[in-house]
Amino acid sequence: MRVPISWLKEYVDIPLPVQEVAERLTFAGLEVADIQTIGLPGSALPWDPERIVVGEVLEVRPHPDADRLVLATVEYGGGQPKTVVTGAPNLRVGDTGHKVAFALEGARHWDGTSPTPVSSVLKGRKVRGIYSDAMILSEKELGLSDDHIGVLLLDAMAPVGMPLATYMGDVVLDLEITPNMARCLSVLGVAREVAALTGGRVRYPQTRMQAGGESIEGRVAIAIADPTLCARYAATLIADVTIGPSPEWMRRRLRLAGIRPINNVVDVTNYVMLEWGQPLHAFDYDVLVRRAKGVPQITVRPAKTGELLTTLDGVVRPLAPERLLITDAAGPIAIAGVMGGAETEVTDATRAVLLEAANFHFVSIRKTTQALKLPSEASARFGRGVPPSAAAPAALRATELMRELGGGRIARGVADCYPAPQVPSVVVLTTDEVRRILGMDLSRAEIERILTALEFRCEPQGETGLCVTAPDHRLDIGTGVTGAADLIEEVARIHGYDRIPVTEMADRLPPQRDIVPLNLEEQTRDLLAVAGLQEVITYRLTTPQREAQLTPGNDSPAERAYVRVANPISADRVVMRQCLLPGLLEVMAHNARLRDRLWFFEIGPIYLPSGATKLPAEPRRLAIGMAGRLASASWRDPDPSRTDFFDLKGVVEALLRGLHLGAARFEPTTHPTFAPGRTARLIVEEHEVGFLGEVHPQVRAAFDLPPGPVCLAELDLEELLARVPLTHRVAPVPRFPPALQDIALVVDDGVTAADLTAVIRSAGGPLLADARLFDVYRGQQLPSGKKSLAFSLVFQAADRTLTDAEVEAEKRRIVEATARRLGAEPRA
Amino acid sequence: MTDIPQALTVLQAEALTALEATADEAALEQVRVRYLGRKGSLAAILRGLADLPPAERPAVGKLANEVKERLEAALAARREALQAAARAAALAAERVDVTLPGRPVPMGRLHPSTQVLRRICQIWGDMGFQIYRSRDIETEEMNFELLNIPAHHPARDMWDTFYTMVDGILLRTHTSPGQIRAMREFCPQPIRVILPGMCYRYEQITARSEIQFHQVEGLAVGRHVSMTDLKGTLISFAHRMFGAVRRVRFRASHFPFTEPSAEMDVECMLCEGAGCVVCKQTGWLEILGCGMVHPEVLRNGGYDPAVYSGFAFGMGPERITMLKHRIEDIRYFWTNDLRFLEQF
Ligand SMILES: [Zn+2]
């Protein structure tokens, strides 16, 4: 909502600088998003009060040498009138008396012909042989609009010689209106706020019509089919009106408020809408009479199947049955509160106007506006709620303004169909309640003062209470506890939030509890970051196609059940993900061009529709993606090794260790995403918690990743963390030195490291503290089909230093056990 | 008969010269053997001692010992010097170019959103607000109706919503539905929770707007929770999050689920309140929305609004990160470009 200060001042005194008023409004919840200054100091190009003044055109003569140019002699209140050359089409030979914006030599103004804003300084020069050192300015040259076709014509009462900045310089407040402040979609609404915040009073405009005509009774009939959709329909009638342009002051105000002037009748409907917040619509009464072949019978009703209306934008619109219409006996004449019909609109030929001031339910208007995609100033107001009480004063005000501007005779009375008059909200508010919510004491007198300033009616009730009646323009005040809260908000914001004291919470601290899964999830993040992985957060909206790329060869992915968005904003964000890996692969592909080392993880939910309830399950997952080099190349190591499966496994093992998860094992398996032979499933306490492996080359290619191993893991974080022990035992650090022994065992290729390690551990008994595999050898020194696995064994007793003989015996037992159970031989 | 004292003097001079001339310990050893060894020059001279008359022996013997000691001392000094020189030479040979870059340490980091979320949650945790995690996909009832935003209400315009194909199910537009879930879980106990989580808005992805972003909602409910508490608690938070000297102000605002509603501004940390591009020359940055829980919302959570009261607030961690670090493009957060992530 754009509010010119000059207009606002008509209804309320502004005792403060504009900047300060804007600040007070903003602090009270009416946010001033922008302040635009026009012509005055502070604007982009202030009008020089000495050199840009109101002028009067005394005479317009033909230019002796140019058909398209004229010579205008202008009186400007200083010395001799000046003659200037102009090509403005709205100054014609013979014209006299026009008031104009007149610029003298040295005045700075906008360049009228430049497509971009460029200012220039007026200098005397010859135009087609005639010297001229002054100029009549267009709106564009003044910075008012882009109009440079003709010069700006001022109202006849503009005082000659007055600085233009004094006459029409202005400041426009651009207000952000929150839904509860819909009443401020009007200049009067804003004036009420200013009055309450500055201790002023609103001066309401005159709402009396000089009705010189016959009564409206019998000249229009009004019926409302459903009062819940249309609470009120009021109409006035003015005959013998002359359609023409509005006066310059009205056009200027409309323009400053952002509305294009059209003609006096339409402009008045818009002007009064901006003033009162009540949208109005003007019908050509004679057309209505012609259509009705008699007295127009206006009915407000929902559309019937198959009905059509050509709206005043020339579009033929089919009307769905839920559209609320204004109709007459011949059919629809307007879409209620949204747009009028073309046939009944006011034209230059209109002589009589039927003015509609109605009230439509906001839900109906919102649905229609959305369905037809026809937002308008009227629907913006109806859609946020307009009080039915505003219809009558707005109708009277507008009709009288039409008479003042367009002449004519107003029919006596208002045809007012108002089946369900507005009931004001009445709320009892006590000082105790104010203290309970605000935490501060406000006297009943202070509360009453604030509410009265906002035009609430207050009656004392009991010792500390007030019985408060909301004014008609307040549709946002409820009843009961809610109504009290509504009033407390009014009291608080006018009193000023900055004047509310500050306290520490004294209320009882709720029971404190530890949220174990959350803590463990954060610990998981830390462990992975310590392991050198970068955390990422990706979009949770994706496409089924992206996820299907993880299963190559599956040409027709079964139509999986997804949480699907009904109104996607783009084709690549249509369903909620069921896997974290595609997002991670995309991050890796994105960064592959930038960095050598691509080690990432993400923790977050996936979304699985569940048949039983409407809400999907949102289990949390952990995904790890690792590729590229182990480190970035440097002068110390120009060619670092590439990440492979065992780097990924090392990270997973570090995580398991960090979480103190004991019984975990990795089993070879197959999975369509991963390369055969390089895939494992992770089993923790006999529960499968996820997969890890090197990605299948087809998957790698599908995600546009460069050659080289790409390692991925996706783990069910909830399954994993559920098995983390609440606490774990810490073993004592041995007092006696360990005995270290290395052995290398040759086994068949088919024997796994896990098999051999298990046998060693079980054979080693309690003295074997650790058995760490440190070398794997295949090659010429061994027969084919054989490999050598070397272990570093640590023997340790808690109560003594082991003798060589004891260690030798242990080692022998291990070697014998591996020979017996796996056919292993010690490597020579 | 040779003159032994003279021979000793000559030997001493020769030996000292030879010692001075040595370049390394091997040469030094040769010199030692030549003059001081068992078969060396000094020993040869001393063998002549037996031929001297007994009366002369003590004086010459003393002289010989003095020469020997002097030479041994000179030898030790020379050895010390040679060793020091050798050490110095070795260190000089091992000198490195300390301006060469260090070996890169592969670092892992947390996403900036995680980092700021943790900071926010930690501060609130210290004030007794515990994390309450709620779901991303919500019912329309939880996301709107129970928060005092009925269908078709003008307030709905404040949220551009992603709906799902299932009637009445949507992607939450804010973390506020968690308020209802928390209240229904804890009623009638007092509540202090914060609800971090991802939210979704039907918006074009641009430098200024995203389809997903985090929010941290806070909720306190009790029998004696007032707007002065709201201000005090939020000011404490702002002082820890943005600095103890930073000024804080509250403006009236509107959210359907709070009343009175407010927005909290914090003095701009980029210009210290002087006015800059980021704060649009106002010196203030809008940090969060807050207010007293609306009576309808309390009632929907199970609390009698005539007895209980509460406050709620909500903030955007990405927005806060952007303001703090002067980031001008919100898309960085989900693009996960390492050139962005490595800066946190
Ligand atoms: Zn700033």
pLDDT in tens, A531-572: 999 999 999 999 999 999 998 876 555 567 899 999 999 999
Cis, bond preceding A544 (omega within 30 deg of 0): no
End-to-end CA distance of chain A: 92
Here the tokens at position A557 are 């992915």
Domain ranges, residue B128:
112-341
* pLDDT band for position B2 (cuts 50, 70, 90): low
Q: Do domains A429-499 and A739-826 have the same CATH topology?
A: no
pLDDT in tens, A492-528: 999 999 999 999 998 888 988 888 999 999 999 999 9
Residue ending a domain, choose from B93, B120, B138: B93
- Cα–Cα distance for residue pair A146/A506, rounded to 1 Å: 60
Closest chain A residue by Cα to residue B153:
A363
Most distant CA pair in chain A: distance in Å? 131
Residues of A in contact with B295 (CB under 8 A): 480-482, 484-485
* pLDDT band for position A126 (cuts 50, 70, 90): confident
* B212 phi-psi bin (left φ>0, alpha ψ -120 to 50, beta other): beta
B108:A599 CB<8 A: yes
Per DSSP, which regions of A562-634 are E strands?
575-576, 597-605, 620-628
Do residue B187 and residue B57 come from a single domain? no
* B95 phi-psi bin (left φ>0, alpha ψ -120 to 50, beta other): beta
DSSP 8-state secondary structure symbol assigned to residue A617: B
Do residue B221 and residue B320 come from a single domain? yes
- Cα–Cα distance for residue pair A351/A342, rounded to 1 Å: 16
Owner of token pair 């079964």: A558
pLDDT in tens, A652-700: 999 999 999 988 999 999 999 999 899 999 999 999 999 999 999 999 9
What torsion do the CA atoms of A286, A287, A288, A294 make, to the nearest 10 degrees?
Answer: 60
Please enumerate, as own/partner, the contacts of B51-60 that have beta carbons within 8 Å and a separation of 24 or more.
B51/B1, B52/B4, B60/B4, B60/B5, B60/B8
State phi, psi for A592 to the nearest 5 degrees. Answer: -60, -30
pLDDT of residue B106: 86
**Lowest-pLDDT range, A704-713, A768-777, B37-46, B176-185?**
B37-46
* Cβ pairs A/B, distance under 8 A: 265
Mean pLDDT of all residues belonging to chain A? 93
Find which of A93-102, A244-253, A417-426, B306-315 is predicted with most confidence, using mean pLDDT.
B306-315
- Cα–Cα distance for residue pair A793/A785, rounded to 1 Å: 25
DSSP 8-state secondary structure symbol assigned to residue A727: S
- Cα–Cα distance for residue pair B287/B267, rounded to 1 Å: 10
For residues B21-48, average pLDDT: 88
Answer whether CATH 3.30.70.380 is correct for domain A739-826.
yes
Three-class DSSP category at B100: coil
For residues B10-20, average pLDDT: 90
Here the tokens at position A766 are 């309690």
Ranges of H-type helices in chain B? 4-21, 25-36, 41-47, 57-93, 112-126, 140-143, 177-186, 227-242, 295-301, 317-325, 332-335, 338-341
From the candidate CATH numbers 3.40.50.720, 2.40.50.140, 3.20.20.70, 3.50.50.60, the one assigned to the domain spanning A52-168: 2.40.50.140
Here the tokens at position A223 are 């019926």
From the candidate CATH numbers 3.30.56.10, 3.40.1260.10, 3.40.50.620, 3.40.640.10, the one assigned to the domain spanning A2-39+171-198: 3.30.56.10
Residue ending a domain, choose from B64, B93, B122: B93
pLDDT in tens, B281-293: 889 999 999 999 9
For residue B285, how far is its CA from the centre of ligand 1 (angstroms)? 7
Residue A278 or residue A78, greater confidence: A278
The CATH number of A516-722 is: 3.30.930.10
A615:B139 CB<8 A: yes
- Tell whether A439 is within 8 A of chain B (Cβ): yes
Cis, bond preceding B188 (omega within 30 deg of 0): yes
- What is the DSSP pairing of strand A221-224 with strand A297-302? parallel
What is the value of ipTM here, to two decimals? 0.89
End-to-end CA distance of chain B: 93
Here the tokens at position A739 are 């005995």
State phi, psi for A278 to the nearest 5 degrees. Answer: -100, 110
The amino acid occupying position A209 is M
Number of H helices, E strands in chain A: 22, 41
The amino acid occupying position A580 is L
pLDDT in tens, A211-254: 888 999 999 999 999 999 999 999 999 999 999 999 999 999 99
- Tell whether A216 is within 8 A of chain B (Cβ): no
pLDDT of residue A556: 58
- Tell whether A430 is within 8 A of chain B (Cβ): no
Residue B272 or residue A828, greater confidence: B272
Closest chain B residue by Cα to residue A602:
B111
- How many CB atoms neighbour CB A256 within 10 A? 21
- Tell whether A441 is within 8 A of chain B (Cβ): no
Given strand A426-430, what is the order of strands in its sheet?
Answer: A426-430, A465-469, A457-461
Do residue B70 and residue B140 come from a single domain? no
Contacts of A228 (CB under 8 A, 6+ apart): A361, A420
- Cα–Cα distance for residue pair A98/A90, rounded to 1 Å: 10
- Tell whether A287 is within 8 A of chain B (Cβ): no
Here the tokens at position A60 are 């317009």
Kind and range of the H or E run holding A237: strand A230-239
In a domain, B103, yes or no: no
Do residue B55 and residue B123 come from a single domain? no
In a domain, B212, yes or no: yes
B211:A539 CB<8 A: yes
CATH code of residue B195:
3.30.930.10
For residue A27, how far is its CA from the centre of ligand 1 (angstroms)? 19
Ranges of H-type helices in A151-218? 164-168, 187-198
pLDDT in tens, B126-152: 999 999 999 999 999 999 999 999 988
pLDDT in tens, A135-174: 999 999 998 888 888 899 999 889 999 999 999 999 999 9
Contacts of B17 (CB under 8 A, 6+ apart): none
Distance from CA of B15 to the nearest CA of A (A): 50
Here the tokens at position A476 are 């946002």
For residue B123, how far is its CA from the centre of ligand 1 (angstroms)? 24
* pLDDT band for position B63 (cuts 50, 70, 90): confident
- Residues 372-411 of chain A whose Cβ lies under 8 A from any Cβ of chain B: 383-385
Among A437, A488, A591, the residue with its CB nearest the CB of B338 is: A591
Owner of token pair 């400007």: A76
Owner of token pair 């959210």: B255
A614:B336 CB<8 A: no
pLDDT in tens, A730-775: 988 999 999 999 999 999 999 999 999 999 999 998 999 999 999 9
Buried b / exposed e over A669-700, threshold 16 CB at 10 Å, is eebebbbeebbbbbebeeeebbbbbbbbeebb
CB of A743 closer than 8 Å to CB of A814: yes
Residues of B in contact with A618 (CB under 8 A): 135-137
Contacts of A589 (CB under 8 A, 6+ apart): A703, A704, A705
- Cα–Cα distance for residue pair A729/A529, rounded to 1 Å: 25
Do residue B217 and residue B315 come from a single domain? yes
- Tell whether A530 is within 8 A of chain B (Cβ): yes
pLDDT of residue B1: 44
Q: Which residue ranges make up each domain of chain A?
A: 2-39+171-198, 52-168, 221-417, 429-499, 516-722, 739-826
Instruction: Output the 3-class SS for A160-190.
Output: CCCEHHHHHCEEEEEEECCHHHHHHCCHHHH
- Residues 148-207 of chain A whose Cβ lies under 8 A from any Cβ of chain B: 178-182
Give CA separation, B100 vs A468, A506, A595, A641, B104, in Å.
Answer: 79, 59, 21, 22, 12
pTM for this predicted structure:
0.88
- Cα–Cα distance for residue pair A489/A28, rounded to 1 Å: 10
Answer whether CATH 3.50.40.10 is correct for domain A221-417.
yes
Best of B206, B259, B299 to disrupt the A interface (most A CBs within 10 Å) is B259
Percent of chain A with pLDDT over 70: 99
For residues A71-87, average pLDDT: 90
CB of A821 closer than 8 Å to CB of A745: no
Mean pLDDT of all residues belonging to chain B? 93
B106:A532 CB<8 A: yes
Report the topology of domain A429-499: Phenylalanyl-tRNA Synthetase; Chain B, domain 1 (3.30.56)
- Cα–Cα distance for residue pair A71/A85, rounded to 1 Å: 5
Give CA separation, A294 vs A329, A411, A794, B142, in Å.
Answer: 10, 17, 112, 54
- Cα–Cα distance for residue pair B71/B5, rounded to 1 Å: 15
pLDDT at residue A575 tops 90: yes
The amino acid occupying position B299 is R
Percent of chain B with pLDDT over 70: 99
The amino acid occupying position B280 is K
pLDDT of residue A555: 57
HSE, CB side, 13 Å, CA atoms: give it for residue A572.
Answer: 6
Residue ending a domain, choose from B38, B60, B93: B93
Best of B107, B114, B117, B164 to disrupt the A interface (most A CBs within 10 Å) is B164
pLDDT of residue B60: 84
**Lowest-pLDDT range, A663-667, A718-722, B252-256?**
A663-667
For residues B172-192, average pLDDT: 96
Could you tell me what percentage of chain A is helix, strand and coil, using 3-state DSSP and rounding each to the nearest 5?
Answer: 30, 30, 45
